[in-house]
Chains A and B, each alone.
Chain A
């Protein structure tokens, strides 16, 4: 019984939240890795474009709520998602047209692209704040829990409760669907194959008659969809704040690098690795240990390896380990 209680507690505080957070990171990291694979630069505006896409979703949600539209038990934000995705894609395509295309033409060094993406980051950050302000916004509605901790306890008779928030379930389901479609697209369709070919060997792809501008456009469309999805899911599950989204840049990049830059499967694995380590290391294991250790063996403190304030340190430590021992990432990304 103790073991079962401990397991439930672990699921409640670590496994479920980490799976949801990992899915959000994975969606973000997929975008980063795709942009890296095709356009060959680190897209620093990723977090901020996520933020502006989510801001549009939030504004649309408020509009829908104001008009009395709701989506039953599901959050209204899901209805607003298409608007946000369309906006994010158009925004990215506009930025590509105004900013990045020129540098592709002149075959600029990757660092120039990165620099340009810093400019885009600044502009996007300003636009987001102008649009919705720098503060926190909540926009989740619909049913709050799929299983609430109290219901779970009465059903099972266990002393530990297991809560599954609807946003967590939604995150995982949406992320899995999105990943499924993405992999089908990359492996089975003509456009997806041309994207992979272009990522593998640009010159060879050009010789085979693949239109690079079209590949780039598809990349932005996919990345924009993933970014808006990731941002909205994160905002629903946790909170929306422009600065928090900017800070997601580090775990998302870490996920992409840990998995192997340019490798979509790696980005997903990387996302979960980062999320599980972050939550595992900052979780207070004291009560968990209480189920196994005899009382007089119990240590004094919370048994928390690192305080939550240092969650970036966890991401960073994993990143450093990967950089030292396996710079190509777990799944052998493109190049080092």
Chain B
């Protein structure tokens, strides 16, 4: 089949599946799925940039998504003046001192001749720096977290427009990726995987523990909206007339309009990214990246700086992940560090890229949408299958109750099987690379 036609058909099928959900279940659910699948598509684009263009294996997508989400709080939440006066200066100074310690350590290491003295000087710098940083930072941290802990207890944000936080989220993730890439690129490819796995756990631990920054497990709720709330929309004449004409309840209509608003915003971002990625892929730069991916040694022989190019694409791909993370938090309207888990935020993205077609942007986007749809719908499906399978057993059969209550986990099995199946029988994905 003509690849373009095939792509159109597959995207058409996703659209049909969403319409089917809308007619049979509810339009709110269909739009919720659509919004998250648009975000997933953005994420998949980012991962595809790293894996499909350069063969970099990033297992820390969760961390980059989470740090992008943090940007939404830091940019758009209202500042807490009491907290700033209690310890804002101390916290900032602590951070600056910490950074200065690291820089001093690097300077010591680079300036001195290799010797035992160098190692001792490095350790001394780090220990002294740590003690000073801690003595400034710890009291400030406590003071901030003591300010009205039930509702605040953190520094808050800059009260800027929430959309500004999207590029900032991308910047945060890019910065993190630069540090990780600098350390682990150029070594074995598995090392990047382990390093990213580690950093993502640390980012999540940091967001849970550093209450002064993110309120930790207490969550930051009520973040500014990018689209008016359903309650506000109910008052608008436009929504009221839509509701009257379509016969849909005003409350549901407002929620649908709100979700459509987000869908429009996300679509704009997604389309921009696809256009940019496609242009990049077909440019000399894209050809060089694929040349490096397919034969690193040959590319190096042609004078390409493989490590620098890898670092560049790793930073770019992670920035897209950060952007998607910021979009996700904006959509939810709250930052909940406790809900980031690697299966959902890292490994599911890999299923999306592999199933969709690595190396092909449209494939990644399709994979993001298909897999997200399946991920959401597999839960009721799994329960239905389990109920069907166990329908011969008695109502109070322990095995039946167990299987039906645990049925939600069948979606993990479904996702893993999808990944294994595609990897084996269609390793180039639903929409293969040209």
Contacts and interface: CB of A to CB of B under 8 A. Distances in A.
Interface of A: 41-42, 44, 99, 102, 110-112, 114-116, 118-127, 129-130, 133-134, 243, 246-247, 249-250, 253-254, 257, 261, 301, 305, 307, 309-310, 312-313, 315-316, 319-320, 323-324, 327, 335-336
Interface string B178-192: 000001100111110
B197 interface: yes
Nearest to B139: A300
Given A123-B420, A125-B343, A114 B190 contact: yes
Interface stretch (B168-176, B198-206, B219-227, B276-284): B198-206
Interface residues of B, number: 48
B329 to A, nearest CB: 21
Contacts of A121: 347, 416
Contact of B191 (A124, A125, A130, A323): A323
7 closest A-B pairs (Cβ-Cβ)?
A122-B416, A126-B412, A123-B416, A126-B413, A129-B409, A119-B420, A316-B198
A71 B215 CA distance: 48
B313 interface: no
A68 B406 CA distance: 28
Interface string B390-419: 000000000000010011011111111101
Given A243-B341, A327-B191, A126 B205 contact: no
A127 B416 CA distance: 11
A119 B423 contact: yes
B194 A134 contact: no
Given A118-B350, A119-B417, A126-B412, A315 B198 contact: yes
A118 B347 contact: yes
B189 A111 contact: yes
15 contacts: A111-B57, A112-B427, A118-B350, A119-B423, A122-B412, A123-B416, A125-B412, A126-B409, A126-B414, A130-B409, A254-B198, A309-B208, A316-B195, A324-B183, A336-B188
B20 interface: no
B432 to A, nearest CB: 16
Nearest to B179: A320
A112 B193 contact: no
Contacts of A247: 201
Interface in B239-256: none
A129 B406 contact: yes
B185 to A, nearest CB: 10
Given A119-B417, A122-B413, A319 B194 contact: yes
A312 B201 contact: yes
Contact of B194 (A42, A111, A112): A42
B194 A122 contact: no
Contacts of A129: 406, 409, 412
Contacts of A114: 57, 190, 193
Contacts of A323: 183-184, 187, 191, 195
A119 B195 contact: no
A54 B342 CA distance: 21
Contacts of B343: 122, 125, 246
B360 to A, nearest CB: 16
B415 to A, nearest CB: 5
B111 interface: no
Contacts of A320: 183, 195
A125 B347 CA distance: 12
Nearest to A45: B416
Nearest to A249: B197
B209 interface: yes
A307 B341 CA distance: 21
Nearest to A321: B183
B191 A257 contact: yes
B127 to A, nearest CB: 10
Contact of B423 (A115, A123, A125, A324): A115
A266 to B, nearest CB: 15
